[in-house]
Chain A
Amino acid sequence: MSMIKLTVNGVARSASAEPRMSLLDFLRENLGLNATHMGCEHGVCGACSVILDGAPVRSCLLFAVQADGHAITTAEGLRKDDGTPGVIMDSFMEAHGLQCGYCTPGMMIAAHALLEQTTSPSDDEIHEAIGGNLCRCTGYAQIVEAIRLAGRRMKDAS
């Protein structure tokens, strides 16, 4: 077992884990942060996306020991400080950017990474940003709309 110390959503956290434990399992099981969803567990579906040191990555393809000393943002980190939905979450609800909700945390993490770069992304940029995230319900159109809406809201607020 190794002691793993990392920053999650701006808060210093630590717990021990075997080297074989994925960051995804570590977040859910050891830190109790279960917003990050486990889909395929081999890097295909994107449901487990988190931000690692500013860049979106798949948490099922990282061992938790690799994240020691690094900073992670999960879908929990997209809430406002008072715990209410942040602009991306709210836009997904507003634009019906989800149905069953399984892919949603990964989609919102991908959206967050994109909207950090630009609040007025083109449709091509949105398609590229969520190209590694599978959704089996929506047909993607409302997800694209939700991301566009979130971008507009962020732009108006700034």
Chain B
Amino acid sequence: MKAASFDYIRATSLDHALSALAESEDAIILAGGQTLVPMMAMRLARPATLIDLNEISELAGITNRDGYLSIGTMTRQAAALASTEVNAQTPLLAKALSFVGHTQTRNRGTVGGSIAHGDPSAEIPLAAIALNAEIGLASRTGTRTVTARDFYTGPLSSVRRTDECLTEIRFPIWSGTVGVGFQEISPRHGDFAIVAVAAQLEFGADKVCRRASIAVGGASANPVHAAEVEAALVGKRIDPRLANEVSRAVDPILSPTDDLHATAAYRRRVARVLTERAILEAAA
């Protein structure tokens, strides 16, 4: 349970980190380390070089800009959870964060680290896919933006190139009357979800749903965006019967597998029920 040897680079700026990343063979970026360090201890990860971003203050911080809440990749989960700006502007992310880990892990774990790692059951990627957040990437040769729904290519894998580093995650800010729902089944609070559903709805003065974003985590290789459920809610007043009926549309988009936590059939069933509950929670 001890990590294998590696060369350690304490990056002092984003430019420093990007140069080190471009010049190192087999390097891994160290963000909060709450997943990577256990993987290294178990020798599931064995990088030759570890590039530590923790001392780069320019990569942490929360900024309200151009209709988005920009969250620096190294913003601690605890800081985002405590942020009044996150709570007011991106309530779905705030709600998702309350399910992430424990005090000690949230004090180190970062928003960007969770996005980059891409666990199929993780709450932060789920919220990012629900809201289709924009993920900022930088390398020594330039920068680019990828939407969360185009970012992942499978469990723990994404379109991020090995010479790229996440810089920020931009969550869209919704105006008007917004309700959010976040429902999760996990063995214990703070554990990874078996299945989780995130829903954000916007309502008109007549309580008619004007806009909907819903995604399901833990029941596919990556969280999936439930476009058909969203379409079935827009233009309607939400009641328990409607929530029950439209939640059935999540089933075709899921591709769950059996593992030691739950069977695929259980995940399907729970995904449907949690979708119904998340819609009702957001409409309450």
Interfacial residues of chain A within 103-150, with CB under 8 A of chain B in the complex: 110, 113, 128-129, 131-132
Which residues of B have CB within 8 Å of A58? 34, 104-105, 108
The reply on B231 being an interface residue by CB < 8 A is no
Neighbouring B residues of A75 by C-beta, 8 Å:
none
B254 within 8 A of A: no
Q: State whether the Cβ of B222 lies closer than 8 Å to any Cβ in chain A.
A: no
Mark each residue of chain B from 32 to 65: 1 if its CB lies under 8 Å from any CB of chain A, else 0.
Answer: 0110011001100000001010100000000000
Contact call A62/B108, Cβ cutoff below 8 A: yes
Instruction: Flag whether A76 is at the interface (Cβ < 8 A).
Output: no
Q: Does residue B1 face the partner (Cβ distance < 8 Å to A)?
A: yes
Q: Interface digits, B1-43 against A, CB 8 Å rule (1 contact, 0 not)?
A: 1111111101000000000000000000010011001100110
The answer to whether B8 touches A61 (Cβ under 8 A) is no
Q: Are A46 and B104 in contact (CB under 8 A)?
A: yes
- Residues of B with C-beta under 8 A to A74: none
* A-B contact number at CB 8 A: 85
**Docked-complex contact A41 and B1, CB < 8 angstroms:** yes
Q: Once the chains bind, are A113 and B103 in contact (CB under 8 Å)? A: yes
**Nearest-CB distance from B3 to chain A (Å)?**
4
A31 within 8 A of B: no
Q: Could you tell me which residues of chain B, from 150 to 193, have a CB within 8 Å of some CB in chain A?
A: 189-190
- The answer to whether the Cβ of B229 comes within 8 Å of any Cβ in the partner chain is no
The answer, yes or no, to whether B207 is at the interface (CB within 8 Å) is no
Count class of interface residues, chain B: 20 to 34
A68 CA / B4 CA spacing, docked (Å):
20
Residue A19, interface by CB 8 Å? yes
* Contact of B1 with A57 in the complex, beta carbons under 8 Å: no
Contact with B along A24-57 (1 / 0, CB 8 A): 0100000000000000011100100100100111
Taking CB atoms, residues of chain A closer than 8 Å to B8 are: 2, 19, 63, 65
Contact A20 B6 (CB under 8 A): yes
Pick from B3, B4, B42, B190 the residue with the most CB of A within 10 Å: B3
CB of A110 within 8 A of CB of B6, answer no
CA distance A70 to B189 in the complex (A): 31
Q: Are B50 and A19 in contact (CB under 8 A)?
A: yes
Q: Which of A43, A60, A66 touches B52 (beta carbons < 8 Å)?
A: A66
Give every chain A residue within 8 A of B50 (Cβ-Cβ). 19, 63
A-B contact pairs, 29 of them (CB 8 A): A2-B8, A19-B5, A19-B7, A19-B50, A22-B2, A42-B37, A42-B41, A42-B42, A43-B37, A43-B105, A46-B102, A52-B107, A56-B104, A57-B107, A61-B34, A61-B105, A62-B37, A63-B50, A65-B10, A65-B52, A66-B30, A66-B33, A66-B52, A66-B54, A68-B10, A132-B101, A132-B102, A132-B105, A132-B190
In addition to A19-B50, A22-B37, A131-B190, 19 A-B residue pairs with Cβ atoms within 8 Å of each other are A20-B2, A20-B4, A20-B5, A20-B6, A41-B1, A42-B1, A42-B38, A43-B34, A46-B102, A55-B78, A55-B107, A56-B107, A57-B107, A58-B108, A61-B33, A61-B37, A63-B50, A131-B102, A132-B102
Interface residues of A (CB under 8 A from B): 2, 18-20, 22, 25, 41-43, 46, 49, 52, 55-58, 60-63, 65-66, 68, 110, 113, 128-129, 131-132
